[in-house]
Amino acid sequence: MCGIVGYIGTKEATPLLVDGLKKLEYRGYDSAGVAVLEQMQRRISVVKTVGKITNLEHKLAECMPKGCVGIGHTRWATHGRPSDVNSHPHQGCSADFAVVHNGIIENYLELKEWLVKERGHEFMSETDTEVFAHLLEEFYEGDIVNALRKTLSKVHGSYAVGVVAAQEPDKLVAARKDSPLIVGLGEGENFIASDIPALLNHTRDVWFVEDGEVVVLTKEGAAILDKHDHEVNRGVFHVDWDAEAAEKGGFEHFMLKEIFEQPEAFQKTLSGRIQEGKVRLDELNFTTEDVERWEKVFIVACGTAYHSGLIGKPLIEEFLHIPVEVDIASEFRYRNPLLNERTLAVFVSQSGETADTLAALREAKAKGATTLAITNVVGSSIAREADYTLFLWAGPEIAVASTKAYTAMLIAQYLLSVYLGQVKETIPEDKARAILEALRQLPEKAKQLLAQKELYQQLARDIRDAQSIFFIGRGYDYNLAMEGALKLKEISYIHAEAYAAGELKHGTLALITKETPVIALALQKNTYEKTLSNIMEVTARDAMVIGLAEEGDTEIAKWVSQAIYIPKIEDIVSPVLAVIPLQLLAYYTAVERGCNVDQPRNLAKSVTVE
């Protein structure tokens, strides 16, 4: 998804902007560019190109714009294919303005027609963003903030925009609606960005910009203006992640680093939330009346976050004694779900910016449901709009493939379900105690699992040439199998599918041959024998089977080519550990196949279009 950076200060802007854009690469992009205001000449120089930031650096090496004010952008194409001309920044006819934009201007065709036919503007690109630059030009009367306001009043859709104007070389302005934007506050310099990693080399003090607000930066100061042009008194958020946390820190890829960060992430997600046998979630503070009012729970999310919800569903059903539905966010709104004030709607999202999840949240809110966000990103749209938010505190996740956020989402849902059960007094005390004790053991047990990476490297060599791989399991194992399959296909590009183990014989068994590896999850004791029979069904078809079982299981090794053992843990908490081998297997398989692990083809970290 597009990334924005902006700088105003006393240093050369170009290298700062390029550095910031590199920190946003994880968002996925197909082109990049910068616009720098050459103050003396009151001229804006734009350098942009399709492809990776290295392409931009090559171009900049030939003609580096000089100046201390500028904006930069990484584009993920929506309107108009990836090309040099469609890359941002965009300018109007006179080149007096430069604009970077993340989001979609929904009425751009109508505006473009007006600008071309009625006002004689000529357009260079196929993008929706270019109308923004032309509108600024149209409305500019010596005050860029006014021109920006007028432009914003004409556009419909979502945006985070950064703007520089040649006539006002001491200002950088920005605005947001439904796309992330933050301000970085420095000494004699200020910044805008789509996300914190872009700023960490320069400042740790940030403001989160809200929808409808306009930002005015000079090198000496920064202001956020509300829609009545009143200055907003926004609290400073001090980022206490060390710079390392947003970098790869010794690992070959962010994904591997994030897999290995899980013991620490577990600790953080749990931190302070279990006290004297009770779950304490201060940010929720639900009363017994609140919880008793709910007759139904929805869990709504996309991709990996959706898979975490599949595990959350049986937990809440068991501990709260009410039905739970799990929905893919892009489907949810269109099926007119039964939502009212007796519903709790939970929205799970690592980024907190996923457009479908955000739209589903708004729908639930409008229909009177209590909305609860589970997210990793403070200041994200979903966090800000939900009635309640449970943060994951897993630290920034950079790799497109979600790993530590998934396990943190699971832990958050164990905590939430036990918490709600305790508030409503519907969870048996011994059950709650067993789960909380299992959660407490997770960091240590995850470390044990991570110590066996050579095993996964070997297994990756065994499966790297497969055309298709099946993941099977029952109950929680089946829900986890879906995540294992998604992880493998997302980064290794091998077709992978998850099946409820008992369902294979109803059709899919026809696809099992000796060329089709099967990853079989056999961690749930109540279905263990049945899963073992399903494993026998596939070994009888000569499939190579990798079995995941609990430490001490001597039976499974008789039926599989390779057994992977998970440290003993309460059955229902086992997915948090069992996913680690699946993540590592996906990772090493992708590496074996020479894939771009952190930025798989066609994918973006944060999907901010519906």
Q: Is 211 exposed, middle or buried (0-12, 13-18, 19+ CB in 10 A)?
A: middle
Q: What is the DSSP string of 545-600?
A: EEEEEETT--SGGGTSSEEEEEPP--GGGHHHHHHHHHHHHHHHHHHHTT--SSS-
Question: What residue has token string 């790297």?
Answer: 464
Q: Which residues bind ligand AGP (CB under 6 A)?
A: 302-305, 349-351, 354, 357, 400-402, 490, 606-607
Give CA torsion, residues 119, 125, 131, 136, to 10 deg. -80
- The tokens of 412 are what? 């958050």
Marked catalytic residue, from 22, 48, 445, 605: 605
Q: What is the DSSP string of 31-43?
A: EEEEEEEETTTTE
Q: Is the dihedral of CA 187, 188, 194, 200 positive or negative?
A: negative
Residue 340 sits at φ, ψ, to 5 deg, of: -160, -170
What minimum distance in Å lies between the beta carbon of 598 and ligand AGP? 11
> Which of 367, 489 has the CB closer to ligand AGP?
489
Distance from C-alpha of 322 to C-alpha of 518, rounded to nearest angstrom:
35
What minimum distance in Å lies between the beta carbon of 129 and ligand AGP? 23
> Which of 18, 358 has the CB closer to ligand AGP?
358
> Which of 304, 492 has the CB closer to ligand AGP?
304
The amino acid at 22? K
> Which of 11, 489 has the CB closer to ligand AGP?
489
Distance from C-alpha of 565 to C-alpha of 552, rounded to nearest angstrom:
8
What minimum distance in Å lies between the beta carbon of 319 and ligand AGP? 24
What minimum distance in Å lies between the beta carbon of 390 and ligand AGP? 14
What minimum distance in Å lies between the beta carbon of 360 and ligand AGP? 11
What minimum distance in Å lies between the beta carbon of 180 and ligand AGP? 11
Annotation says 489 is catalytic = no
Closest CA to 488 of 610, 348, 592, 356: 592
> Which of 348, 504 has the CB closer to ligand AGP?
348
- The tokens of 49 are what? 């190109």
- The tokens of 124 are what? 């260079």
* Residue, CB closest to ligand AGP: 303
> Which of 21, 604 has the CB closer to ligand AGP?
604
Residue pair 420/291 in contact (Cβ under 8 Å)? The answer is yes
What minimum distance in Å lies between the beta carbon of 393 and ligand AGP? 15
- The tokens of 418 are what? 């036990």
> Which of 91, 304 has the CB closer to ligand AGP?
304
Marked catalytic residue, from 2, 68, 302, 595: 2
Residue pair 181/4 in contact (Cβ under 8 Å)? The answer is yes
Residue 313: C-alpha distances to residues 241, 317, 475 (Å): 32, 6, 11
Annotation says 313 is catalytic = no
What minimum distance in Å lies between the beta carbon of 490 and ligand AGP? 6
Give the 3-state secondary structure percentages of the chain, helix then strand then coil, rounded to 5: 40, 20, 35
- The tokens of 167 are what? 């006539």
> Which of 166, 256 has the CB closer to ligand AGP?
256
Residue pair 607/355 in contact (Cβ under 8 Å)? The answer is yes
Would you please indicate which residues are annotated as catalytic (active-site) residues?
2, 605
